[in-house]
Amino acid sequence: MSAGTYYENIIPLLAPIDKVAAAWATPWVDLKNAQACRFYLYHGLLTSASTDTVAVTIEAASEAGSDSEIAIKFAYRKGSAAGANAWGARTAATSTGFNLSTASDGLMWELEVDPVDVLNADTGGAGRYVRMVAAAPSDTVAAMLVSAWVVLEPRFKQLNMLSATGAAT
């Protein structure tokens, strides 16, 4: 590969921010031109009681912002602490997702979405948008610093990426 040639479409979704005691969602991502999709979630310390959790899911929709989203299945892997490169095993998640807790403080998570599952999730067979969603914490969380991005593998390699954000095109 020559210098400056990249084939993955990397899209920042959530700049590092403190998401305290509130649900949040990333912007919608358009999978129209993607053959693979991986969300990344990196969070710092969850300042809370050890029993508090935050549920993370993936939602799909046929139109971005249409209020017709459906939680879908996906796979995830737990990363290691900063400065290490030891990923956990790939784990299947149902539409209910998985939970972050103080046991996962300072870790990065990879959430893999199959575009076929997105297409099939919509009753009309036209699902094409996805986003990562975190529910409000189960109890009082004093701090939860998070950031998120997505890496799309385009169907066709190209030097100039087609947009994968915003409204339907």
Q: Which residues of the chain have pLDDT under 70?
A: 1-6, 20-21, 47-50, 122-126, 138-143, 157-169
Indicate if the alpha-carbon torsion angle 55, 143, 80, 102 is positive or negative: negative
Q: What is the pLDDT of residues 23-71, one digit of tens each?
A: 889 999 999 888 999 999 998 777 666 677 888 999 998 888 777 788 9
What's the pLDDT at 169? Answer: 38
Domain locations in the chain as residue ranges = 13-154
Q: CB under 8 Å, gap of 24 or more: what pairs does 112-116 form?
A: 112/36, 112/37, 112/38, 112/39, 112/74, 112/75, 112/76, 112/77, 113/31, 113/37, 113/38, 113/39, 113/58, 113/72, 113/74, 114/36, 114/37, 114/74, 115/31, 115/34, 115/35, 115/36, 115/37
Per-chain mean pLDDT for the chain: 81
Residue with tokens 């998070």: 146
Q: Which runs of E-coded beta strand occur in 23-97?
A: 24-25, 29-30, 34-48, 53-61, 70-72, 74-78, 91-93
The pLDDT of residue 75 is 97
| CATH class entry, domain 13-154 | mainly beta
Q: What is the pTM of this model?
A: 0.85
